[in-house]
Chains A and B, each alone.
Chain A
Amino acid sequence: QKEVEQNSGPLSVPEGAIASLNCTYSDRGSQSFFWYRQYSGKSPELIMSIYSNGDKEDGRFTAQLNKASQYVSLLIRDSQPSDSATYLCAVMDSSASKIIFGSGTRLSIRP
């Protein structure tokens, strides 16, 4: 069983709509969760971190965490073509010395 699972996509969303990306994880002891964005040919860059249950908003991005369901999501409001990228969900394992990445969801924003 994969430790961090994401739908690989591609997820196609019209410009201006809400993009919803989901992730599940297997380590119940995990306490820290992250979303990274990776453009083609570039390195991953951190866009959101979340550590407690509930929602965390930063501009057009909202991360949601439900530890009981072992579920993390990322909402992107007012999607722009520049949001087209692969979004990686990452989870720090319970040893706190290893961050595991999902395989990523490819998001495409169509004009």
Chain B
Amino acid sequence: KAGVTQTPRYLIKTRGQQVTLSCSPISGHRSVSWYQQTPGQGLQFLFEYFSETQRNKGNFPGRFSGRQFSNSRSEMNVSTLELGDSALYLCASSLALAGGPDTGELFFGEGSRLTVL
């Protein structure tokens, strides 16, 4: 069974540009969560999608947005990039975040490492 796939793995952007990151969850997983990981802040929750609906959002500015498609694939977008957006962006999929056994068990992709110059 294929794992969570994130693309691109590495990217370099300049301040003011925008970026779109993609995530393909494990087949059958309907919940997709996004996290930002930096050395100073650790893993910070960005948002969670289930069945194309954003169910929760972390404390990030509106420049950070996302969406989920009917096949559960998800994208996140960061507009007007700032130097502080340099981070590893991790996507994680789950069968569901509520109901039944294995609730909330996240499976992470390898991440997209964004560098903003």
Contact = CB atoms under 8 A, between A and B. Distances in A.
Contacts of A29: none
Nearest to B103: A32
* Size bracket, chain B contacts: 20 to 34
A107 to B, nearest CB: 16
Chain A interface size, as a band, is 20 to 34
Interface stretch (A11-19, A54-62, A71-79, A96-104): A96-104
Given A43-B111, A92-B103, A97 B42 contact: no
A95 interface: yes
A63 to B, nearest CB: 13
Nearest to A100: B45
Contacts of A103: 42
B50 interface: yes
Interface of B: 33, 35, 42-43, 45, 48, 50, 55-56, 58, 90, 97-98, 102-111
